[in-house]
Chain A
Amino acid sequence: ETGVTQSPTHLIKTRGQQVTLRCSSQSGHNTVSWYQQALGQGPQFIFQYYREEENGRGNFPPRFSGLQFPNYSSELNVNALELDDSALYLCASSLGGEGGYEQYFGPGTRLTVT
């Protein structure tokens, strides 16, 4: 059973640029959630995808968008990057539906915006 993987590990971008982060969910999981963890804070929910549809969104602007693919892998896209977008971005997969509340996290992508 493979765990959740994310790429890239680290990324440096300039303010105003766009970025795409990728996530492969754990085998058998059909739901992917994305979280942003700023320094010294707990992870904050960005949005969730269940069977390729957005299934809930946190308090993030529309320049944060996502996709989920038929194999349940997912992308997080951020447009018009701002300095405050510098954070660790975590992807978590789960069974979804009645599968339970436990979410399993990948190692994260560290994004630095300069």
Chain B
Amino acid sequence: DQQVKQNSPSLSVQEGRISILNCDYTNSMFDYFLWYKKYPAEGPTFLISISSIKDKNEDGRFTVFLNKSAKHLSLHIVPSQPGDSAVYFCAATPRGSNYKLTFGKGTLLTVNP
């Protein structure tokens, strides 16, 4: 049973527009959420995170929104750039869990020039 779901395997956007990547979770014990970006032949790179006590966290072009009642989070990238083309993973962890991360299957984002 997948506890973290990324239902869109792929997303294509034009350069300069907004990219919105979505993630749903089922485990109500999750209380910290992270987004990772992965290029081919590289390990995942930490992008941005959010604690369950917040509903928004912003870092430059990247913003993560958390809707706890819907068990849903999203990553917004504005403006999107061709270098953002990668696989994006959503991950979650419960408090005090030794920080074991549970990942979704990922969404391949393609930003077209």
**Interfacial residues, chain A to chain B (CB-CB below 8 A):** 4, 6, 31, 33, 35, 40-45, 48, 50, 55-56, 58, 90, 92, 94, 96, 101-108
Q: Which of B29-73 contact A (CB under 8 A)?
A: 32, 34, 36, 41-46, 49
Q: A42-B89, A43-B89 are in contact. Are A90 and B99 (CB under 8 A)?
A: no
Chain B residues, CB < 8 A from A108 = 42-43
Q: Which of B11-19, B76-84, B100-108 contacts A (4 or more CB under 8 A)?
A: B100-108
Per-residue A-contact encoding for B80-113, CB less than 8 Å = 1, 0 else: 0000000001010100011111111110000000
Interface residues on B, range: 20 to 34
Closest to A45 in B: B100
Considering only CB atoms, which chain A residue lies closest to B102 in the complex? A45
The answer on a CB contact under 8 Å between A101 and B32 is: yes
In the complex, what distance in Å separates the CA atom of A55 from the CA atom of B106? 26
What is the CA–CA distance of A45 and B3 in the complex, to the nearest angstrom? 13
Residue of B nearest to A105 (CB): B43
B105 near A48 with CB under 8 A, answer no
Chain A residue contacts of B21, Cβ below 8 A: none
Give chain A nearest CB distance to B45 CB in angstroms.
Answer: 7
**Complex: A4 Cα to B46 Cα, angstroms:** 13
- Contact across chains for B99 and A48 when beta carbons are under 8 A apart: yes
A108 to B36, CA, bound (A): 15
Q: Considering the chains assembled together, what is the distance between the CA atoms of A14 and B79 in angstroms?
A: 47
Given contacts A42-B104, A44-B103, A107-B41, contact A56 B46 (CB under 8 A): no
Instruction: Name A56's contact: one of B32, B34, B100 (CB within 8 Å).
Output: B100
Q: Does B75 contact A (CB under 8 A)?
A: no
Give the distance to chain B from A48, nearest Cβ to Cβ, in Å: 5
Interface contact A58-B106, CB-CB below 8 Å: no
- Pick the residue among A41, A48, A105 that contacts B100 (CB under 8 A): A48
